[in-house]
Each structure stands twice: as structure tokens, then as C-alpha cells.
Amino acid sequence: MAALRIPGVRLAAGAAGIRYQGRDDLVLMALPPAAQTAAVFTTNAFCAAPVQLARRHLTQTSPRWLLINAGNANAGTGARGLADAEACCSALAVAGHCDPAQVLPFSTGVIGEYLPAARIAAALPTLLTALREDGWEDAARAIMTTDTTPKTASARCDIDGREATVVGIAKGAGMIRPDMATMLAFLATDAAVPQALLSAILRETVADTFNAISIDGDTSTNDACVLCAAATLDAPPVRTETAAARALTQAVHSVCDTLATAIVRDGEGATKLVTLEVAEAASPAEARTVADTIAHSPLVKTALFASDPNWGRILAAVGRAGVPELDIARVRIWLDDCLIVSGGGRDEDYTEAAGRAVMAQDALRIRVALGRGQAAVRLLTCDLSYDYVRINAEYRT
């Protein structure tokens, strides 16, 4: 497999001793001068200091650097947390010969602890000398927290007769119910894309990839998804409503979908990847509410872990989702292609053996048809295991 690479985008990973010992925990990403950058962030009111600062910097200038640390979220840290994030940006600005506003900071890890800014600053000279275009894999490993595997993806598309590339990395395995994007995800393309179009592509893609996953129903304080257009491809800038724009959007969607699926597959303690499909809803919001209710039910999730076709738990989740005047006689529920509920109760052809066979798989679908309209949604989730409790009970020990 060829190394992941975007011409002009250079990355380096190193060990700053932020929380972890004996592993990389700091990433530096350098962007070329003509690059454009778009980002979306968490909606959590207690958003982390780096989120606040990155938002501000994006309104001031075009970023030249991304600085990402693992092990410490720098969230719930008040004025000092913001000062620490600013200090890291200033240190990189001096070393990287740019304005501090041209640095976007990102953090992930334990909430409520102060960021060791001095350690991060001390590690920067080494990272600056290690920057290289094929540093994506190392960066993916360095930003991991409870992840068990690095998450990378790439796709190619045609831009006016030239082959453009999209590369992405992500981290996340717990505290996953994004209300914007995902835990942390960073994507880049060599295409030239105006900032407004780049932002539109990112938001459109995030809506049904990173924003359509849930592991545990918790929205992080630090979620961010960034898309950079390096403008190093020998092709004209991508324009709105063109074949090139559609091709690039599809490539970005492919990368984000792969990364989002990898996050759910790597959910803390997860043993099953579950696709929830809710159709025949009166509106997309109604369909999403039903999907969320199923995805966040501890009883459904533990039944999934046990491979137990306890379909009554799914039925109950649909019934309590708050759908007004739901006609239960019109509701149908499937496990894969096995119809389990119809006419207000268990389908007359359903057998426990058929349901158990589906539940024994490590990937399955739960499908719900509400019989109310044409709206539909798709959501990825996973089961809830003993290991999820253990991992989170021991997270700070």
C-alpha cells in the first residue's frame, strides 16, 4: 500500500510527555501558503480552550499550522486553559515564523487538567525538523487515546483531467455522539478549493457521516473536523456546481464515511457494528429521534452485546421515542432482512432462531419503518460491553 501523501502538506509526530509515557502524543501539520481551511467544532457549551481559540483564529487569517496533542483535553480549565493554548500557538509561531493566529490548536484526552504547555513548546523544535509529506500514519497513532488502532483513509477523484487526492485521519472510541463532526478528524486534499465551497463540502459531508454515529451518547468538549485544500494540484480551482465539485465532494464523503465507520468499529469495548435505518418517517428529524432512541438505549445495546434477539427492547425504544400519534399497527422492524415486528406485535413468521442468527454477527442492521411518510436516516452505533465500563471506570487511573 502506497504511503498516504498530499503534496505540500507535511506532518510530524513526537513525544512530549503530556500524559502518556513511551509513545508519541503531539502532532504538527504544516500547510502550504495558498492552502484554504474549513472546520466544524463541538456544540458542547463547555467547549475546550483549543476549540475556542481555533474558532477565533479561523476568522482572522488562513492557517499555516495545526498543533494537536493527545492525553490532555485542556477543557474545563477556564482562563488558564485559554492562556496555555495561546502560549502553545505563540511558541509555534516563533519557531515556525508565522503569526500566532495562523496556528490552529487541538487537544484530546482527560478533561479538567491543565495543559503542560512548556512540554509542548519544548518538543516543537524536534517536530519541525521531522516534518514530511508521508507522516499521516504516525500522526494517526499519536492522536489516539483509548483507540486500539489508528484510523486513516484516502480517496482519489478527477479534477479537470487531473487526479486529485483526499487523505484523512481520525481518533475516537468513546464520548462519541457528535453534534458537529467527530472527536478529532483531519483531512486534506491537493486540489485548490475556495474557502466558501470547502466549508460547504465539509458541512454537507459531516451531516451524514461523522454526525451520524454514536457510541455512547456523549458529545465531547473537544470535537473538531478540519478539511484543508493545499492547492498544490496542477488544475484550476474547483468551482461550485461543477463536475469537479461533485467529484471532490464524493471523495471527501468516502474518506469521512470510512473514518466514521472505523470509529464505531473501534468503540470502547465494542464487539458489533450496528447500522440503524429508520424509514417512512414524517420528517428527517423524526427519523433521527427514533434512531437516536434505539442507539442510546442501554437495554438494546446490552442485548446486542449478548447476541440476544430481545426484540422487545427495540420495540419499546421506538414506542418511547416521542413520535406523536404513532400507529403501531403500521410499524415494522427488521433484524437485517428478518422481519420481527408487524401489525403491532411479533410478526407471525418470525422465529427466535432466525433472530439469534442475525444477532450473532459482528455487523448487522436494525431497520424500522414507521409508516408515516418518506423521510429516512441512517445511523451507525455499537453494543455496550463489560469492557466499556472497565475502560471508562479506569480512564484516569
Structural domains of the chain in order of their starting residue, each with its CATH number:
10-265 (3.60.70.12), 273-393 (3.10.20.340)
DSSP β-bridge partners for residue 168: 153, 187
Please say whether the beta carbons of 172 and 183 come within 8 A.
Answer: yes
Q: Report d(CA 254, CA 248) in Å as an integer.
A: 10
Q: What is the mean pLDDT of the chain?
A: 96
Please say whether the beta carbons of 161 and 137 come within 8 A.
Answer: no
Place of cell 466514521: 260
User: Band of the pLDDT at 3, cuts 50, 70, 90?
Assistant: confident
Residue 1 has pLDDT above 70, yes or no: no
Residue 242 is a catalytic residue: no
DSSP β-bridge partners for residue 363: 273
166's CB contacts (< 8 A; 6+ apart) are 154, 155, 156, 157, 187, 188, 189, 248, 251, 252, 254, 255
Using alpha carbons only, how large is the chain's radius of gyration in Å?
22
DSSP β-bridge partners for residue 226: 39, 186
Q: Report d(CA 222, CA 34) in Å as an integer.
A: 27
Please say whether the beta carbons of 170 and 182 come within 8 A.
Answer: yes
Catalytic residue among 37, 182, 232, 249: 182
Residue 2 has pLDDT above 80, yes or no: no
205-247: pLDDT as tens digits: 999 999 999 999 998 999 999 999 999 999 999 999 999 999 9
